[in-house]
């Protein structure tokens, strides 16, 4: 199905599966409780798109984590960034590549397990901007991101995570702050459809600590 995604002043029309439930795989869930969240454009993803649409990104390197269909990376590419969309699901990456081609965007995409990131992703580091939307929905995600994000960052990298006030986001934020990362938060309204997570999304922004940007963060 086609979906128009709010993205500030930009127009983003993408194709996605009509139903995430139709993609459920019992074997994958039994293995690691994997669910096809990627097939939806969640409220936090729409907020992230709006944030990126207002940023000056021309020539900057941007990586989106847990990107699903990759709307954040697509908006970054529309703003002139060298964007990389990453997700755990190969099908999500396939959709992100198809949509990027359909929109005539210069955007890369690849499969990535946060605990075992591909060498080619790490080789591109440091990135100018690391982003994600609604990726802190489980405690284990925060633990994995605490190890991965420092490896993607340099002294001037900015990290932006849009989150719909998930309970497990607090431990991640506190862990980053304890490790010396600069932090601020902006609360933004959800454009378009509102789900059970509410009408407000927290946009967390982090800056690496001086001289310690590549040290893992214990969550």
Classify strands 153-163 and 200-207 as parallel, antiparallel or unpaired: antiparallel
Q: Global pTM?
A: 0.91
- In CATH terms, the fold of domain 41-207 is Rossmann fold (3.40.50)
The confidence score (pLDDT) of residue 35 equals: 57
The confidence score (pLDDT) of residue 92 equals: 94
* Per-residue CA distances from 75 to 67, 154, 165 (Å): 12, 23, 23
CA-based nearest residue to 33, from 42, 24, 44: 24
Contact between 53 and 75 under an 8 Å Cβ cutoff? The reply is yes
Low-confidence ranges of the chain (pLDDT < 70): 19-36, 211-212
Contact between 164 and 43 under an 8 Å Cβ cutoff? The reply is yes
The three-point CA angle 155-161-166 to 5° equals 140
Q: Return d(Cα 186, Cα 183) in angstroms, integer.
A: 10
């Amino acid at each position: 199905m086609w979906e128009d995604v709010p993205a500030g002043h930009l127009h983003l029309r993408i194709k996605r599966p009509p139903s995430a439930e139709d993609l459920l795989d019992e074997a994958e869930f039994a293995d690691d409780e994997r669910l096809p969240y990627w097939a939806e454009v969640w409220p936090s993803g729409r907020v992230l798109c709006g944030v990126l649409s207002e940023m000056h990104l021309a020539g900057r390197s941007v990586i989106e984590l847990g990107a699903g269909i990759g709307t954040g990376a697509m908006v970054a590419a529309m703003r002139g960034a060298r964007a990389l969309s990453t997700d755990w699901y190969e099908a999500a990456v396939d959709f992100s590549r198809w949509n990027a081609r359909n929109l005539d965007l210069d955007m890369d995409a690849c499969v990535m397990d946060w605990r075992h990131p591909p060498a080619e992703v790490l080789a591109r580091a440091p990135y100018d901007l690391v982003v994600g939307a609604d990726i802190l929905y489980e405690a284990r995600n925060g633990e994995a991101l605490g190890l991965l994000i420092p490896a993607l960052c340099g002294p001037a990298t900015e990290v932006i995570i849009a989150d719909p006030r998930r309970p497990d986001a607090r431990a991640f934020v506190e862990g980053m702050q304890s490790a010396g990362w600069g932090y601020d938060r902006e609360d933004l309204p959800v454009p378009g459809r509102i789900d059970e997570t509410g009408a407000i999304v927290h946009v967390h922004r982090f800056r690496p600590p001086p001289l310690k940007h590549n040290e893992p963060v214990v969550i």
